[in-house]
Amino acid sequence: MAEGTIKRVTDKGFGFIDTGSSKDLFFHSSSLQGVNFDDLREGQRVTYTEGRGPKGPCAENVSLAE
């Protein structure tokens, strides 16, 4: 699994992960594993797998890094 940092969360149920490269990955609250969307904060470390959504690359299986 890849690791990144929560860059932004919105009040609409989605956010973006800073992957450490030039691209940020979109994630939706439905892709969270073991964490509630309301508990996410900018700057938290997360693990994820990169997937493909209808609008391009996205993060799946997002969970807090240990």
For range 37-46, the mean pLDDT: 96
Confidence grade of residue 62 (pLDDT, cut at 50, 70, 90): very high
- Return d(Cα 23, Cα 33) in angstroms, integer: 22
Q: Would you say residue 66 has pLDDT above 90?
A: no
pLDDT of residue 32: 97
Banded pLDDT at 59 (limits 50, 70, 90): very high
Cα–Cα distances in angstroms (integers) from residue 5 to residues 1, 21, 28, 54, in the given order:
13, 11, 15, 23
What's the rounded mean pLDDT across residues 14-38? 95
- Residue boundaries of the structural domains of the chain: 2-64
How far is 56 from 66, CA to CA, in rounded Å? Answer: 28
Query: CA–CA distance from 37 to each of 2, 4, 21, 42 (Å)?
Result: 19, 16, 24, 12
Fold of the 2-64 domain: OB fold (Dihydrolipoamide Acetyltransferase, E2P) (2.40.50)
